[in-house]
Amino acid sequence: MKRLTTVVIALACGIGAVWAATDPIAERRALMKSDGMAAKKMFDMSKGTTPFDLATVQDSLKTLYDGASKSAALFPDDSKTGGGTAALPAIWQNKADFDARFAKFVKDVAAAQAGIVDEASFKKLAPAVFQNCGACHELYKAKSG
């Protein structure tokens, strides 16, 4: 019985994982979440709340780069509602602008990856990365549920 339960749970988890992988809302929410945590680490450093650490910055930028590169494709037409999404209908009404903003975000992150070598260059280039968050959220994200 125990074994059967284990198998059922394992199967359920597997199905859940597969489902999540084909569920763009869950996927983009997970990416946004990790993007947010990565951005927060950099933001705290830029405020001087935490000490500057180049390795952490580079890790965070990599997370942001991966997230930003993948996310734009995770807003198909059938993912407008449900799953606790905070995406606003404006995304699909202005899809070209929305995609262009993601492209700009990727570009700004790449520029930061190439240019940040020390604390001074971090202070100079990080704000351009952060600026993308609010600029996009203003138009395309509202709290839901």
Among 41, 49, 36, 131, smallest CA distance to 86 is for: 36
Q: Does 95 bind other proteins (CB under 8 A)?
A: no
Helix axes 24-47, 119-140, angle to 10 degrees: 140
Measured CA distances, 90 to 73, 77, 87, 94, 102 (Å): 16, 12, 8, 6, 15
Minimum CB distance to other proteins smaller for 3 or for 125: 125
In this chain, which stretch among 28-36, 50-58, 99-107, 116-124 interacts with other proteins, using CB under 8 A?
Answer: 28-36
Q: Does 145 bind other proteins (CB under 8 A)?
A: yes
Looking at 1, 3, 22, 143, which residue binds other proteins (CB under 8 A)?
143
Minimum CB distance to other proteins smaller for 27 or for 63: 63
Minimum CB distance to other proteins smaller for 2 or for 138: 138
Measured CA distances, 103 to 5, 14, 136, 145 (Å): 46, 33, 12, 29
Looking at 38, 74, 109, 129, which residue binds other proteins (CB under 8 A)?
38
Q: Does 40 bind other proteins (CB under 8 A)?
A: yes
Residues that bind other proteins (CB under 8 A): 33, 35-40, 43, 86, 88-89, 130, 133-134, 136-138, 140-145
